[in-house]
Amino acid sequence: MTRSRLIAELRMSPPVVLPSLLLCDFGNLAAEVRAVEKAGARALHLDVMDGNFVPNITYGMPIVEAVRRATDLPLDVHLMIAKPEDYIDAFVDAGASILTIHAEAVDDPRPALERIRRRDAVAGLAINPPTRLEAIASALPYCDMVLCMSVAPGWGAQEFDPAALEKLRSLRAQRGDALLLEVDGGVNAETVADCTRAGAQMLVVGSAIFRNGEQTYSESLSQLTALGAQSRSPEGSS
């Protein structure tokens, strides 16, 4: 799918709940991918961590390649790594449909964002909770998506930081529909409505899908999507 078509599809009927595969059963990765796809997932989120930019280590290109072999769904690959510009081609070749770099990991995001776009992938820029929007203002024209982190990156199952909501509201007011807005960290049945009300169109969810007690993946995805759709603000409408 081309970059422009994927952006149009993601805007068409938000919110899009993206299961974060960091918390899936990696011993049965292909089965887990098929299960969330069957449950109604419209895209999947993969967290790449290097033990340098963030304190945790997860996986790299081979896992992205394995997930791509298991599904045709868009893959939202979040690079929480140092020197992300050195790995853009490798991750797009591995199957990334959306590639997000961190503003904190580069001196100037523009060259990396432009390179992602040249590879016909959706260009995302992530910011950590302490990072102010002013720090990425000059890069916004080169982004397709901004990811507002609502936890410190590196570990799952953290508590939601409401600072992300104000950033989402500000970005929606500043850029309207020019940007896709995504939120990641602590998104669950208690926080999802606040996220979509603030303007988030894409919601990365880990524990609330993969570690949600007796609920099936389908039940969790349906509940989160419904809660988010009911609470979307006029500003967040497409």
| Domain boundaries of the chain, sorted by first residue | 3-236
Cβ-count burial of 199 within 10 angstroms (0-12 exposed, 13-18 middle, 19+ buried)?
buried
Question: What pLDDT does residue 237 have?
Answer: 42
Give the integer Cα–Cα distance in Å for 90 and 61: 7
Output the average pLDDT for the chain: 94
pLDDT > 70: what percent of the chain? Answer: 95
* Confidence check: pLDDT of 74 > 90: yes
Question: What pLDDT does residue 43 have?
Answer: 98
Question: What pLDDT does residue 232 have?
Answer: 66
pLDDT band at 185 (very low <50, low <70, confident <90, very high): very high
pLDDT > 90: what percent of the chain? Answer: 88
**What residues are labeled active site?**
47, 184
pLDDT digits (tens, 9 = 90+) for 151-172: 998 766 668 999 999 999 999 9
From 180, 209, 176, select the one nearest 192 (Cα to Cα): 209
pLDDT digits (tens, 9 = 90+) for 143-152: 999 999 999 9
Domain 3-236: assigned CATH number: 3.20.20.70
Tell me, yes or no, if the pTM score tops 0.85: yes
